[in-house]
Amino acid sequence: MTLRDPRTLHPQPPFEKQPQDPPGLDAKMKPVPADGAESWVGHGRLEGRKALITGGDSGIGRAVAIAYAREGAEVVINYLPEEEPDAESLAEIFEADGNTLHRMPGDLMDEAFARQLVKDAAEKMGGLDIMVVNAGKQVTQPDIASISSEQFDQTMKTNVYAMFWMCQEAMAIMPPGSSIIPVTSIQGYDPAPQLLDYATTKYAMRGFTIGLAKQAIEKGIRVNGVAPGPIWTALQPSGGQTQEAVTQHGAGAPIGRPGQPSELAGAFVYLASDEASYTIGEILGVTGGAPTA
């Protein structure tokens, strides 16, 4: 096996400005994020498992969906209707692999939908034993005065309320051996001033994950989180960062570049698998060297 320098393994800044309307599409990014379709090789670590992934059409969720399916899991993804082009291209990857992608579009800010999504996913697959809470809302604002109550409310509902609603439903139906994996962020440790409301939700998700883990293990369910650093996803150019920041995305990480979604998939496979049977209430940082302690 040829060793490769991680600093140059994937594209480095500067990138070009590339504004998109939210929620953004992977397919329109330059370069297109690496989702693992060309690199992930499965080894049967999730054979027979049944996974629900929110924000599964693009970015981190897309890479996790590909890895989970290739490891043997059946997969349901949730995404916003506007993200259908990315979901369709993901379905084509699944079909080429001989797998079926179950698609359940809808807005997680709607409590009734978020709760029903868990039940529908379990019904579709004949059970549910992995849930990745990945969908998120991030809008950059220069200061607190620029954050409207509407934006604050939407960010809270998408990132925190939806997680709470879905975890309540999942805990009622998941069997022992199941795994819940919320996606927090480096922002839950080192908040950027221009992402005040987003960082607030990521702190909340971090605390929720650690607290729920102590309850859930009493039912044999493991809860752990993943904290990504600066990752090259459509969240960034569609309002998550200024266009000037997009051109330098990841430059401040010790590794000198943004992470690619495919570089996080292994963390999610590990946490969902029996290899992590003694890992409970942990937040696994995948940050390109930025500290999470």
Residue 77 lies in a domain: yes
Region 6-32: what's the mean pLDDT? 97
Region 61-87: what's the mean pLDDT? 98
Whole-prediction pTM:
0.98
Predicted local confidence at residue 14, as pLDDT: 98
Beta-carbon count within 10 A of 111 CB: 13
Predicted local confidence at residue 293, as pLDDT: 79
Question: What CATH number is given to the structural domain containing 64?
Answer: 3.40.50.720
Residue 199 lies in a domain: yes
Percentage with pLDDT > 70 across the chain: 100
Residue 20 lies in a domain: no
Residue 99 lies in a domain: yes
Residue 17 lies in a domain: no
Residue 14 lies in a domain: no
Confidence category of residue 193, pLDDT binned at 50, 70, 90: very high
pLDDT tens for residues 199-209?
Answer: 999 999 999 99
- Looking at every residue in the chain, the average pLDDT score rounds to 98
CA dihedral 89, 92, 97, 98 (to 10 degrees): 150
Q: Are strands 50-54 and 74-78 parallel, antiparallel or unpaired?
A: parallel
- Counting the structural domains of the chain, the total is 1
Predicted local confidence at residue 126, as pLDDT: 98
Residues with a known catalytic role: 198
Residues 6+ apart with CB under 8 A from 209: 182, 184, 223, 224, 225, 281, 283
Residue 179 lies in a domain: yes
Predicted local confidence at residue 254, as pLDDT: 97
Is residue 1 over pLDDT 80?
A: no
Residue 122 lies in a domain: yes
Region 91-118: what's the mean pLDDT? 98
Q: Residue 223: which domain range?
A: 44-272
Region 279-290: what's the mean pLDDT? 98
